[in-house]
Amino acid sequence: MRHVHGWLLLTPAAILLVSFTHYPTIATVINSFFSKGNSVRPSRFIGLGNYEAMTQDPIFWKVLFNNMWFALGTIPTSIGLAIIMALAVNRAMPGRSFVRMAYFTPTILPMIAVANIWLFFYSPDIGLIDQITGWFGFSSHNWLGDPDTVLSSIIVMTVWKEAGFFMIFYLAALQHIPPELGEAAKLEGASRWYYFRRVVFPLLMPTTLFVLINAVLNSFKLVDHLFVLTKGGPDNASNLLLYYIFENAFSYFDTNYAATLTVVLLGLLAVMALVQFFVLDRRIHYR
Amino acid sequence: MTGIRISNLVKQWDDVRAVDDVSFDVPQGRLTVLLGPSGCGKSTILRMIAGLEDASAGEILIDGRDVTREDPSRRGVSMVFQSYALFPHLSVRENILFGLKVRRVPVAEQEKRLAEAAHMVGLGDLLDRKPANLSGGQRQRVALSRTIVANQPVCLMDEPLSNLDAKLRAEMRDEICALQRKLALTMVYVTHDQIEAMSMADQVVLLKDGQVEQTGTPSELYEMPRTTFAAGFLGMPPMNVLRMDQLSGAGMPKGAVPKAEPGCMLGIRPEHIRIAGKGLPVEVASTDYMGAETVLRLRHADEVVMARIHGRPQVVAGDRLNIAWAADEIHVFDETGTRRGSPDT
């Protein structure tokens, strides 16, 4: 009788998990083994055919490398900035809560609104950046229209948006470090940098792991900004994996190929999460 | 020579004066206890000596050198914090060596001092543990070792025993005292626990509301309290401070109750009260049997009198009896609560 109650309590969560996580995952994997169907030729099982096609697809490799650069460009910078901002606002100073709020604002704003703001910043001639550089005599530049600058432009915007969000976690972690530790270090003559390196940063490592996993996930999850800003262009220069999946599924209606790409994305994320947990976790001190 | 000299020290927080014109000397190589109730400013004084708080006014001299504006690391002090301030991610070894590494002490010297300190406090086989895997007493020892390896002439302690249980506290009291003597440290020890002050101190500085109430050896404070506050703060139970106009000397030894003056108070330690055939009539309110002695709560008119009677007297609550004391055991305080010379004769 008791295990019946147990199962009844678990059921609501289980239904949600199964219908929105487990079933779609399995369905995706199954779909990826089938060909794209149409009214003339119905979808049929083709084994690893989609995966073969994927390895031949130059756009797939392009978005994969784009995604790698995007991750490398956004993750270390936003984490570094987040720590610096958290340290800056973790002391007594005038207008502290205002500054904290200002740092956090990008996180509160809806993604679409953020993208629109930055669209204005990046517009050639009339955009904010071009107007400012114009005063110093630089010629105008189409930041989002140039394949050489479009990915960097998106990276800058993403760092701006993520750093404030990560700052909140670092701020919370900093406030858990007892001030006596700093005082003890000060009595020994430790410089602020030495104290940060030997004490604060190691004590922040659990937060860093958490933030790192989030940052990696976010770097593969970006769709809405691309949708507003570039649609992945020009010439796929700013296309990222998830947006490419989105395009395949909802623009080209090739859901089977999209499923194949999704399986690859899931595999990538799983591998990275495992590496982070098993390699980094051992070196981290948890209180 | 003077270990530490504090003169006219003031700490002002916005509109609160936490430390108000405090002056005292800490003799070199001695243990001085800053004693007082919470909020009396004792920790603030200690933190100003360490340099963790800036003094609003006044001077701090260590070994004759004015360090009031000196960087904390150049004052020649080490400190044990109430929370021990151990770095949770570092092993015991790294915790102890932290300061030496900052100061770039040669590695051979580091190892030598570490071995000495670990031996002295008995941490030998715990050096690779993390603080989380240590008991409270062991953490305390790590904090002490940090002080030992630092080799500083002055050691500051901020309520170091308040997180320990009673048995361990007594043990650590002895160890800290032994350490202080062995290393001839000039130690300033902050506590609100009068037992620690009485048992450890060479000199006690009693503080109240940011001001020095009395400075002296534990026996001076106990036997000659300068104020009713000092009289009431030391002793378990504290000295009885009675309004003199409520008492009559009838049946008491000559001089045991001096002639009443308006507002004057009479102080008498509970252990100096004895049950007598004639004397002050009281009613027993309660009895606390402690084994070697019994503490009686007695009532005389509006006054409550505590008495410590040896053994187990045959009294119960509600009994009426007479108490008396000797003339040379009394303390007389005037209407401001300040001691009147020596006991009146």
DSSP string, B97-130: HHHHHHTT--HHHHHHHHHHHHHHHT-GGGTTS-
d(CA B330, CA B244): 12
Helix, strand, or coil here: B268? strand
Please name the amino acid found at residue A98. Answer: F
Q: Is B132 on the interface with A (CB under 8 A)?
A: yes
Q: For chain A, state the CA radius of gyration.
A: 23
Alpha-carbon dihedral sign for residues B213, B217, B218, B219: negative
DSSP letter, residue B314? S
Mean pLDDT, residues A74-99? 88
The CA-based angle B248-B250-B254, given to 5 degrees, is 100
Task: List, for residues A52-73, the tens digit of each pLDDT value.
Answer: 888 888 888 888 888 899 999 9
d(CA B44, CA B24): 15
Q: Is A185 on the interface with B (CB under 8 A)?
A: yes
Contact (Cβ atoms closer than 8 angstroms) between residue B198 and residue B234 = yes
Mean pLDDT, residues B76-85? 91
DSSP string, B204-237: EEEEETTEEEEEE-HHHHHHS-SBHHHHHHSTTT
The pLDDT value given to residue B2: 58
Which residues, in sequence order, are bridge partners of residue B243? B265
Over 60: is that where the pLDDT of B343 sits? no
ipTM above 0.90, yes or no: no
Residue B82: closest CA among chain A residues belongs to which residue?
A180
The pLDDT value given to residue B236: 84
The token duo for B41 is 């400013």
**CB < 8 Å to A184, chain B:** 79, 81, 85, 98, 146
CB-CB under 8 Å, A285 with B130: yes
**C-alpha distance from B199 to closest chain A C-alpha (Å):** 28
Over 60: is that where the pLDDT of B178 sits? yes
Over 90: is that where the pLDDT of B64 sits? no
Contact (Cβ atoms closer than 8 angstroms) between residue B158 and residue B190 = yes
Do strands B57-62 and B2-13 pair parallel, antiparallel, or not at all (unpaired)?
Answer: antiparallel
Q: Is A180 on the interface with B (CB under 8 A)?
A: yes
Secondary structure string (H, E, C) spanning A164-229: HHHHHHHHHHHHCCCHHHHHHHHHCCCCHHHHHHHHHHHHHHHHHHHHHHHHHHHHHHCCHHHHHH
**C-alpha distance from B118 to closest chain A C-alpha (Å):** 19
Task: List, for residues B292-301, the tens digit of each pLDDT value.
Answer: 899 999 998 8
The pLDDT value given to residue B5: 92
The closest alpha carbon to A79, from A205, A212, A199, A177, belongs to A212
The token duo for A24 is 């779609």
The token duo for A236 is 């796929």
Which chain B residues in 149-168 lie under 8 Å from chain A, judged by CB atoms?
150
Mean pLDDT, residues A44-52? 81
Over 60: is that where the pLDDT of B344 sits? no
Over 90: is that where the pLDDT of A48 sits? no
Secondary structure string (H, E, C) spanning chain A: CHHHHHHHHHHHHHHHHHHHHHHHHHHHHHHCCECCCCCCCCCCECCCHHHHHHHCCHHHHHHHHHHHHHHHHHHHHHHHHHHHHHHHHCCCCCCHHHHHHHHHHHHHCCHHHHHHHHHHHHCCCCCHHHHHHHHCCCCCCCCCCCCCCHHHHHHHHHHHHHHHHHHHHHHHHHHCCCHHHHHHHHHCCCCHHHHHHHHHHHHHHHHHHHHHHHHHHHHHHCCHHHHHHCCCCCCCCCCCHHHHHHHHHHCCCCHHHHHHHHHHHHHHHHHHHHHHHHHHHHHCCCC
Please name the amino acid found at residue B219. Answer: S
Task: List, for residues B180-226, the tens digit of each pLDDT value.
Answer: 998 899 999 999 998 889 999 999 999 999 999 999 999 999 999 99
CB-CB under 8 Å, B98 with A198: yes
Contacts of A208 (CB under 8 A, 6+ apart): A79
Over 80: is that where the pLDDT of A280 sits? no
CB-CB under 8 Å, A186 with B85: no
Helix, strand, or coil here: B95? helix
The pLDDT value given to residue B280: 87
Over 50: is that where the pLDDT of A106 sits? yes
Q: Is A221 exposed, middle or buried (0-12, 13-18, 19+ CB in 10 A)?
A: middle
pLDDT over 70, % of chain A: 100
DSSP letter, residue B246? G
* Minimal Cβ distance to B89: which of A187, A189, A203: A203
Which residue did the predictor score with more confidence, A185 or A283?
A: A185
**Confidence band, pLDDT 50/70/90 cuts, at residue B247:** confident
Q: Residue A101 to residues A85, A165, A221, A234, B194: CA-CA distances in angstroms?
A: 12, 11, 25, 35, 48
CB-CB under 8 Å, A189 with B85: no
* Minimal Cβ distance to A187: which of B73, B90, B132: B73
DSSP letter, residue B328? G
The token duo for B190 is 């902050």
Mean pLDDT value across chain A: 85
* Minimal Cβ distance to A188: which of B81, B88, B103: B103
d(CA B277, CA B157): 50
Q: Is A203 on the interface with B (CB under 8 A)?
A: yes
Which chain B residues in 76-115 lie under 8 Å from chain A, judged by CB atoms?
77-79, 81, 83, 85, 87-90, 98-99, 102-103
Residue A189: closest CA among chain B residues belongs to which residue?
B73
End-to-end CA distance of chain B: 39
CB-CB under 8 Å, A180 with B85: yes
For testing the chain B interface, which of A177, A180, A187, A286 should be mutated: the one with the most B CBs within 10 Å? A187
d(CA A128, CA B49): 54
The pLDDT value given to residue A20: 92
The pLDDT value given to residue B341: 67
